[in-house]
Structure 1
Amino acid sequence: MTTPPLLGAEGTPPLLSAEGLHVTFPGRHGAARARAVDGVDLDIRPGEIVALVGESGCGKTTLARSLLGLVPATGGRVTFDGKPLDYSSRALKAYRKRVQLVLQDPSGSLNPRHTVYDAVAEGLRIHGYGGDERAAVAEALSRAGLRPPERFFLRYPHELSGGQRQRVVIAGALVLEPELIVADEPVASLDASVRGEILALLLRLRTELGLSALVVTHDLGLAWNIADRVAVMYLGRIVETGEVEQVLTAPRHPYTQALLSVLPEAPGDPVVLTGEPPDPSRIPSGCRFHARCQILASGEAERAGVADACRSKDLEVLGGGGGTQVACHWARAQVTT
């Protein structure tokens, strides 16, 4: 594996990009189609870690799977390295060598009948690797923090701790020398004592390899610790995005404010959102968050003169690049007053 000399920076062309992305699923028994991803622009630059944050059911996992080519887009497009994603079998196989998925549950990701060696070597065999397989597996395990790697070759998943299993999953991704990984809740199933180790590992891999990452999570605390940028998703659309320090120290969208308020170190009382996110087959008019919005419920939006817009005027899709952006009538009114 070679180490790129520089990490990505502002102005660098994106490595992976979603442009006006839509993913819909058929409704049951003739019901309206569910708009799981309902217009998303999102860029990930070389060497950059982007956190995609939101509640369960907001569409973030569907978005991540669409970026991987596992779920075809029904509108818009995905581009990688400047080229639109090709959904032919041959092209997707080549693409998935460069973009790897790391799943939430390492126990479910690993075949209990396969040794650690076979689990890590599987990708090499699928892609017809012609080099020294044993050396490649050993290097990937070592990079993932399992040293000496030979000690783990003949072990089975049940013989490992949860953190060790997650490192094996990461090694299985690294062995193909990807340019980007998509990590879906990578530490959600781990003990608190192990989470920091895995996050530190991902940061080290970014530094050593120039690896880009999209980290899908419901945890804004995790985003704070690992990400360069954060994109907050609600009901199929990104509602706030920007540099992680800016968004998480001065959140402008009421939804972001509510998510941050429940963190243990957050000042003030937690914001308790009423109800569940709406059905994605029946997205409300206006701001899609307005039915649960604490700003609208408290009368602040009315005093700012935007309550009617919140209920009736849709907001545009936010741009996918850098810079702080928010899709909220009230937040924008605060800037202009």
Structure 2
Amino acid sequence: MTESLLSADRLQVTFPGRRGAPAARAVDGVDLDIAPGEIVALVGESGCGKTSLARTLLGLERPTSGRVTFAGEPLDYASRALKAYRKRVQLVLQDPSGSLNPRHTVYEAVAEGLRIHGYAGDERAAVADALSRAGLRPPERFFLRYPHELSGGQRQRVVIAGALVLEPELIVADEPVASLDASVRGEILALILKLREELGLSALVVTHDLGLAWNIADRVAVMYLGRIVETGRVEDVLTSPQHPYTQALLSVLPEAPGEPVVLTGEAPDPSRIPGGCRFHARCQILAGGEAERAGVADKCRTEDLPVLSGGGASQVACHWAAARVAAE
């Protein structure tokens, strides 16, 4: 794998508990690398730590331990350094209606980043170019429009244009198509792929939807309770998932064979992460006796698993999966 553009190294993010409660470990030991021009999908249920990890990679949260590096340099949290960093790494939010000021025109929304960063070039040309790249053509036709005058897909394109205008090297897209109609989702995903091809743009796409990951990502990282539990090339992970949690997530896709796997209960509280495999209390493999037959049931309940490395090789944090590989 080529040298990483953005890396997380043993990243931990904890939030203090209320009224003396234990601290919540939102991110609990994560290694993750994103190479230049690579699209990585970060997948998991709500509450698994995806957004906390993304915010930390953006410099919006400071890690409790571990570090973030960009282009080989540790992230500097001084205000001037963070401002320069956020020009190179841009956030695209899931709800364009919430992220666009209803009182600002499209032109003002896209130009805002240029003004914050003291852009000295031709502002009008830069805004027009960003809108055009985002698929809003001719761009001048959109300059004086307001968000309420646009469709959902057009609003998302404006948000993307607001990120592109600063010519970032990487975008972090948090559920970029979750609020859009199915007919528009494909257009926005195709746009992100086109931008990667034209600009060499890297992307971290945060989603709960493995189907979206299949359509856009080079690599997928599956997150559960603050830690990445399976990672690898998207074709490998989604055609032959090794972790029971990944198998359960895939089973509910419309095209998945067999019956959906219904996980019992909710994910545990991140302030009370269980011992052993953090998924064992909900694991269909352990509950069905397969882990017992493989001789790893006790390990599942008591023995923690190592943090997966951030690189591109296929990896899984699962005692049962490891026993299957050893038996082959």
Displacement of 1:48:
0.1
Alignment of 1:54-65 (within 5 A): 54-65=44-55
| Structure 1 position 79 matched with structure 2 position 69 | yes
Partner of 1:3: none
Match of 1:263 among 253, 261, 283: 253
Displacement of 1:288:
0.1
Separation in structure 2 between the aligned mates of residue 218 and residue 203 of structure 1, nearest angstrom: 19
Separation in structure 2 between the aligned mates of residue 29 and residue 270 of structure 1, nearest angstrom: 40
> What is the identity, as a one-letter code, of the residue corresponding to 1:114?
H
SS in 1 for 2:232: strand
| Structure 1 position 273 matched with structure 2 position 263 | yes
Separation in structure 1 between the aligned mates of residue 48 and residue 27 of structure 2, nearest angstrom: 9
Alignment of 1:34-183 (within 5 A): 34-183=24-173
Separation in structure 2 between the aligned mates of residue 91 and residue 31 of structure 1, nearest angstrom: 35
Separation in structure 2 between the aligned mates of residue 74 and residue 103 of structure 1, nearest angstrom: 24
Separation in structure 2 between the aligned mates of residue 189 and residue 26 of structure 1, nearest angstrom: 31
What's the TM-score once normalised by structure 2's chain length?
A: 1.00
| Structure 1 position 332 matched with structure 2 position 307 | no
SS in 1 for 2:222: strand
Partner of 2:10: 20
SS in 2 for 1:198: helix
Partner of 1:253: 243
Separation in structure 1 between the aligned mates of residue 264 and residue 65 of structure 2, nearest angstrom: 31
Q: Deviations over 1:241-275 (max 9, x none)?
A: 00000000000000000000000000000000000
Separation in structure 2 between the aligned mates of residue 185 and residue 53 of structure 1, nearest angstrom: 10
| Structure 1 position 199 matched with structure 2 position 185 | no
Partner of 1:5: none
What's the TM-score once normalised by structure 1's chain length?
A: 0.97
Separation in structure 2 between the aligned mates of residue 216 and residue 75 of structure 1, nearest angstrom: 22
Separation in structure 2 between the aligned mates of residue 242 and residue 15 of structure 1, nearest angstrom: 17
Partner of 2:207: 217
Displacement of 1:74:
0.3
Displacement of 1:173:
0.1
Sequence identity, in percent? 87
Separation in structure 2 between the aligned mates of residue 270 and residue 283 of structure 1, nearest angstrom: 26
Partner of 1:231: 221
SS in 2 for 1:17: strand
> What is the identity, as a one-letter code, of the residue corresponding to 1:258?
A
Separation in structure 2 between the aligned mates of residue 306 and residue 75 of structure 1, nearest angstrom: 31
> What is the identity, as a one-letter code, of the residue corresponding to 1:265?
E
> What is the identity, as a one-letter code, of the residue corresponding to 2:86?
R
Match of 1:305 among 273, 295, 310: 295
Separation in structure 2 between the aligned mates of residue 111 and residue 89 of structure 1, nearest angstrom: 25
Displacement of 1:92:
0.3
Separation in structure 2 between the aligned mates of residue 108 and residue 82 of structure 1, nearest angstrom: 34
Gaps of at least 5 residues in structure 1 are: 1-10
Separation in structure 2 between the aligned mates of residue 224 and residue 332 of structure 1, nearest angstrom: 25
Match of 1:315 among 291, 305, 313: 305
Displacement of 1:202:
0.1
